[in-house]
Amino acid sequence: MAKPMILVADDDADVRQALSLLLRDAGCEVATAASPAEALASLRQRRPELVLLDLNYRRDTTSGDEGLALLKQIRAQDGELPVVVLTGWGTVQLAVQAMQLGAQDFLEKPWENARVRSLVNIHLALADTRNRMRRFEEAAQSGETQDDEPVFHARGMREALDVARRVAASDVPVLLTGESGTGKTLIARWIHRHSPRREGTFVSVNLGGLAETLFESELFGHVKGAFTDARSDRIGRIERARGGTLFLDEIANITPSQQARLLHVLEEGMFERVGETQTRSTDARIVAATNADITQLIREGRFREDLLFRLNAVEIALPPLRARRDDIALLARHFLARFAPPDTAPLALSAGAD
């Protein structure tokens, strides 16, 4: 895999050297520029994945005017290139100006190395997700998508996927809502594939289909002898999802006692296998889904409001197909291509159907 390239534009040679060493150590390729002119020349030669841009240069070391002017020029040439501005003379007002001109973030000097690495990772992940999203949308419009990619054109799905794209790079819990068949599992998998946890495991559990007696064993695991049929140790879904994503489908169907047990794990980040006293930590991103009106269930006393608070840091509502009329022909072409017998001529919709 090619290393992401980052452009560091700063008039201070020590700053350029320090950031170059830090970023190369983090697995990035680095280009440097000592002036706005050099920065623009570098951008013309090769588009980086991220720019770290000083706001003050030798001609004016306090106002940030040179850096803001350079930011305007970068935005005029490339409206999507991620830019993080940095300055030793940072003020809230200057940060606001930079953000208004299109900067994604703001970093003051002297910096903490962990903060730099975190910002770089976040914005590289977001940029990668934007690029993937663009490719998927272009493929969807032409009907050329992978089997597990969302197929859409309708505005409602575009808005839902835009939210999914923005939250994928973070670890915040996501609640997917919508009627049965709207693609909640598909979107959950999409979020996982476009998150920093993409190399981890996507673990799905249908909570609506779990018996009360199996709930803890399925989620938390058990040790040999914990109950009659526990003939060996077994890890649960939460443990299997360590480093990845845990998809809790039909979350609204669990009982009050199951809600309490799940809430405890989400609040504490800890759990025990059934029959065991050793406490284990969790490390899974939570995505939940339901086709129920959870707000109504809360009013009826059938779902815990504090559990909902833990699940829906971001809620994504998926529209039903009847609200996506523009997608019907697109989906039909997609499934014709997907399920066509091998080694046959491509199938197509009739003129009247299309």
Whether the pTM exceeds 0.75: the reply is no
Q: In angstroms, rounded to a whole number, what is the distance separating the alpha carbons of residues 74 and 43? A: 8
Same domain as 177, residue 100: no
Q: Is residue 331 part of a domain?
A: no
pLDDT tens digits, one per residue of 110-161: 888 998 998 898 888 887 766 665 555 544 444 444 445 555 555 677 788 8
Same domain as 163, residue 199: yes
Q: Is residue 24 part of a domain?
A: yes
pLDDT at 104 over 80: yes
* 278 exposure class (CB count in 10 Å sphere: 0-12, 13-18, 19+): exposed
Q: Is residue 220 part of a domain?
A: yes
Same domain as 217, residue 72: no
The last residue of one of the domains, among 76, 106, 123, is: 123
Structure tokens at 334: 């997609």
Domain harbouring 280, CATH code = 3.40.50.300
Same domain as 214, residue 103: no
Q: Is residue 138 part of a domain?
A: no
What per-residue confidence (pLDDT) applies to 324?
Answer: 72
- Percent of the chain topping pLDDT 90: 37
The last residue of one of the domains, among 103, 123, 143, is: 123
What per-residue confidence (pLDDT) applies to 331?
Answer: 66
Same domain as 301, residue 193: yes
What per-residue confidence (pLDDT) applies to 143?
Answer: 41
Q: How many domains does the chain have?
A: 2
What per-residue confidence (pLDDT) applies to 153?
Answer: 55
3-state helix, strand, coil in the chain (%, to 5): 45, 15, 40
* Structural domain boundaries enclosing 85: 5-123
Q: Where are the beta strands (DSSP E) in 96-181?
A: 105-108, 174-177
Q: Is residue 248 part of a domain?
A: yes
Domain harbouring 56, CATH code = 3.40.50.2300
Phi, psi of 351 (to 5 degrees): -60, -40
Same domain as 170, residue 108: no
Q: In angstroms, rounded to a whole number, what is the distance separating the alpha carbons of residues 57 and 103? A: 18
Average pLDDT over residues 265-282: 87
Structure tokens at 25: 């150590």
Same domain as 260, residue 158: yes
Mean pLDDT of the chain: 83
